[in-house]
Amino acid sequence: IFTNADKAHALQVLKRLALEDCFEGIICFETLNHPPLQPPALKSPILCKPSLEAFEAAIRVANLDPKKTIFFDDSARNIASGKAAGLHTVIVGNSALVPGADHALRSIHNIKEAIPEIWDGDEEQMEQVIQAAAVETSVLA
């Protein structure tokens, strides 16, 4: 999970959705913005989506290969930044592609029907699926 929310809120939402055991970790506000150790004049800028720097930091923290990662978001600005960071992207809540989106899903509930390849086969096949996702397509699901 990559969110601008704090960890407590992210955990609360995942629990409410009964998804708390579905993800390996949470990259949240505190992950990218540690408490300041320097005087206020020397503070680092705050990192949040949709800044490209936030995406790059999240990719480093999660130790991901962006070419093998699919990023789902409902914000067109976040999708554009995710694509700029090298991720394969899916805009959710929109049946039309936005700049930087490889796929469009009207609802996240339709993901299995819209992109069934994610659940099929082994890791090698998954890499082929992700590479194929680089071709922009709109999925009406």
Query: Does pLDDT of 13 surpass 60?
Result: yes
Give the dihedral sign, CA 62/7/108/97. negative
pTM, two decimals, is: 0.79
- What is the per-residue pLDDT across 32-67, written as a single tens digit (0 to 9) for each? 997 766 666 566 789 999 999 999 999 999 999 999
Statement: residue 75 has pLDDT above 90 = yes
The sheet with strand 103-105 has its strands ordered as 70-73, 88-92, 103-105
What is the pLDDT at residue 115?
75
Which range has highest mean pLDDT (43-47, 81-85, 112-116)? Answer: 81-85
Q: How do the domains of the chain map onto residue ranges?
A: 1-48, 67-141
